Amino acid sequence: MSLTRSDLESLRLQQMIAVEKLGLSILSTAELEASIAQILQQKPPQSDVWIFAYGSLIWNPILKYCDRISGKIYGWHRSFCLRTPVGRGTPENPGLVLALESGGSCRGIAYRIAPELIAPELLLLWRREMVVGSYIPRWVKVFAVGTSIDAIVFTINPKHPMYDPKLSIEAVATTIATAEGALGSCSDYLSQTIYGLAEHQIIDRGLLNLQKQVTEINSVQQQSESSQSCA
């Protein structure tokens, strides 16, 4: 399953984290609103409010948007570097989800929010992405065919305890192949991201290579379980 608007409106994520007693600081509504106000104060002059998506926001945006375009940002790259002990994992076997780390470039989708919906839609988005402060929202330049726009994007908070940098590709693949939580498996999260990008003619070779390794790990595990059942 995936997150829904109802989940965010009912503060389901906050409740899941609180129940697990993970020791993570859950941002209050006042703190989320202060973060939103701060990013909007930095809004480039005469720019609309766009959101740049690079992971689950592509295939499950939830947001009410009035326009969308595919584009590319520079200075940031997609990376499975954020541990998740709920949602796509458990405290005993935390999963991994995507964040943006510095360096390189990233192709994704930008969504434009209608002016009259900016306040409620951003609060909903902040409840999803900023629930425990694992990201840093910032403005980036998105380059699309024939144009460029300024958009808000969520980059990794390098000081957050769930940030797990410099993981090997093998460690990432093993985690994605084995981790699962209340919102589904990490392998499904990876597949959905690949399919979501493909719908916009975006191919991420790194994600495809990762998916291949995850498939191989699952195949070996299934063969092992089959052998044990026949023994």
Give catalytic residues, as residue numbers: 129
Closest CA to 218 of 182, 163, 180: 180
- Distance CA(205)–CA(25), nearest Å, equals 35
Spatial separation of the C-alpha atoms in residues 155 and 98, rounded to whole Å: 10
140 burial type by CB count under 10 A (0-12 exposed, 13-18 middle, 19+ buried): buried
Could you tell me which of 200, 48, 183, 219 has the C-alpha nearest to residue 118? 48
Tokens of 78: 């997609």
CA 166, CA 130: separation in Å to the nearest integer?
23
